Amino acid sequence: MQGINRVGGANGVKAIVGSGFYWAWFDALFMSALFATGGTDGLMPEYGAIAAFALSLPVFGLVLWRGDVVGKLFEGRRMTVAVAVAGTIGSLFYTVAGMANNWGAFAGGALLCGLFMGMYNMAWGMVYCKDGAKSATPLIAGAFAIAPLLDAPLLFMIPEARAVFFALFPLASSALFVAMGHSLTRKTKRRDATANAQTSEAAFRPLTDTMDVESRLDESLAKSLGRPQTEPAASPHGMQAFLTNHLGVSAMLIGAVVLVMSGFGYLQHLLSFSTQADGIGVQVARGAAAIVMFCLLVARPERSSAVFRVGFLIMVAGIMMLPFFFGTDTFLVSGAVIIAGYTAFDMFIWVAFSHIAHTRSKSPVKTVAFIRFVANAATALGLVCGVLLVGQEEGANPLAFFQETTVVGYLVVIAIVMLLSSEESAELLRSARPSPAQSTGMVGAMGETSAERMEAWLDGIGLTAREKDVADLLLQGRTQPWIAEALGISENTVGTHVRHIYQKAEVHDRQQLLDLALSSISPESREPQSTITGAT
């Protein structure tokens, strides 16, 4: 039961399994499993992956242009199921194309699979970012971990049967998405209105972001004392303004994603589609890495920063090994190392942009659409570069291959440096630890801080667990609609909790609650708990 609660309860389990079916279908593209056979020229499965990635881009572009319209399409079950049916039909078209070398079936499959990939990338992406990093980390790690478990039984089937069963995965993913009752717009309309009304940076910080409580209280204290606010820097213009002010992302972070995903596409050509490739073996290695990371991230969330950083180093090490191992019996060793490290990077990017969509973006739907557009376009570009530069004659010019792979390795190193240098990544890695309220076992190691004193004070005035969640958000300056959105409860329930909080703290409004909290937890105030709570 505790494990289920850590991943978000019953809906969290549905999200993990449902999106796991999606990622298992995604893996099938790189295992060439949808084609049953590889087509007469051997490149058809790779062309199919490139086409699916490329044809998903118009979906993301449509969301960026009219996100409200696309969101409404997913409010009803019909469109949700219809897109999944399109994914299944497209997958079966790919199977026919591979067996009969039929390029007409290939074109139909590419169109429908691209539609499914784009729409369900968006659908599950919005589920992941519902509560920012708090929801994204276990859901994404769990989905990546369960995907290979869904793949595994099918790998023992004959190719034709395997392709048909993989084609059914979009329907399974859709069924669980519908069972969750999730809507792309219902969770974001109120957020957009609230975010536009909030003008301070602090207003975009979530409860789930376990940043230092002292810094949040210092900002609140400065406001309560009427200190003058720092003049904002000159506003950016054009695309930079759209990225920073509307989507909440930086150009450096986008650049890192472009470099890594382009390199990933190139490497997938070598690891999954070349003559020496073992697409199934590579995806098994990815699955094993995902399972290990899921266990670590759920069992020890305070170590998530270390997990991600080690994953980045493993990816770089694998890429640097690749030129030396290519053409040898140990080639797949470097491939397994690369894909294990990339899995950590992929998880981190999903968590980072879920965090941004939840906390900084004025339009979470568009933030998710933008990053998926960038990632899918870069992956398709990398695959195309692999086909053009290497093709299936990897051994024809070993020196050229060595040079190309070394360049890719350097680009990935540059991307990792850019990623870790970005403000968003630094903030997320710093905050990737549970608060004292979430991990009482760390209290002794952390020492007595404002976070602990705040937790003790909230306990001392007799708040319930839910009332403490609401009180924490109130002290951050959140509005009641925002709190209802973040905690998944109604505004009436939030209002009831707020009244109970004021009654127990013996205050009449938010400002009085803030003043009382600051005075009660300040280092100078070392009164016994009975004095703080007014107990006799």
Q: What's the pLDDT score for residue 88?
A: 96
Predicted pLDDT of residue 522 = 64
Contact between residue 383 and residue 269 where contact means Cβ atoms under 8 Å apart: yes
In one-letter notation, the amino acid at residue 266 is Y
Q: How far apart are CA 426 and CA 524, in angstroms?
A: 32
Three-class secondary structure of residue 182 per DSSP: coil
Measured at the CA of 414, the angle between CA 409 and CA 419, to 5 degrees, comes to 125
Token pair, residue 187, equals 């969770």
pLDDT of residue 298: 78
Q: What is the token pair recorded at 471?
A: 């009180």
End-to-end C-alpha distance for the chain, whole angstroms: 39
Residue whose pair of structure tokens reads 């968006």 in the numeric block:
122
The residue with greater pLDDT, 52 or 429, is 52
Q: Is the pLDDT of residue 182 over 70?
A: no
Answer whether residue 198 shows pLDDT above 50. Answer: no
34, 87 in Cβ contact below 8 A? Answer: no
Amino acid letter for position 33: A
3-state secondary structure of 477: coil
* Phi, psi angle pair for 229, to nearest 5°: -80, 145
Tell me: pLDDT of 180 over 60.
Answer: yes
pLDDT at res. 83: 93
Per-position b or e across 59-97, b if 16+ CB within 10 A of its CB: bbebbbeebeebbebbeeeeebbebbebbbbbbbbbbbb
Choose among 175, 147, 177: nearest CA to 33.
147
Three-state secondary structure call for residue 491: helix
What burial letters (b/e) apply to 355-394, b meaning 16+ CB within 10 Å? bbbbbbbbbbbbbbbbbbbbbbbbbbbbbbbbbeebebeb
At residue 39 the predicted structure's pLDDT band, cuts being 50, 70 and 90, is very low
What does the alpha-carbon distance between residue 490 and residue 282 come to, in Å, rounded to a whole number?
Answer: 46
Q: 375 pLDDT exceeds 50? A: yes
pLDDT value of residue 445: 34
Least confident of 170-184, 267-281, 304-318, 334-348: 267-281
* H or E stretch at 368: helix 364-389
Taking the C-alpha atoms of residue 520 and residue 296, their distance in angstroms, rounded to an integer, is: 37
For residue 435, what are its two tokens? 């608060």
pLDDT at residue 311, rounded to an integer = 84
Alpha helices in 31-102 (DSSP H): 44-65, 67-73, 77-100
- How much is the average pLDDT of 354-368? 81
- DSSP letter at 273 equals I
Find how far residue 156's CA is from the centre of its chain.
31
Mean pLDDT, the chain, integer: 75
pLDDT tens-digit readout, 492-536? 888 888 988 998 888 888 888 888 888 876 655 444 444 334 443
Give the rounded percent of residues in the chain with a pLDDT score beyond 70: 70
* DSSP sequence for 213-248: HHHHHHHHHHHHTTPPPPPPPPPP-HHHHIIIIII-
Tokens linked to 288:
């094993």
Tokens in use for 164? 């048909």
| Predicted TM-score (pTM) of this structure | 0.69
Q: What is the DSSP letter of 277?
A: -
Packed helices 9-30 and 44-65: angle between N→C axes, nearest 10 degrees? 140
DSSP state of 154: G
Distance CA 389, CA 383 (A): 10
* Residues in CB range of 264: below 8 A, 6 or more apart: 342, 378, 379, 382
Sign, CA torsion 401/403/406/408: negative
Mean pLDDT of 467-484: 81
pLDDT at 59 (0 to 100): 92
Domains of the chain: 2-187+252-430 (1.20.1250.20), 447-533 (1.10.10.10)
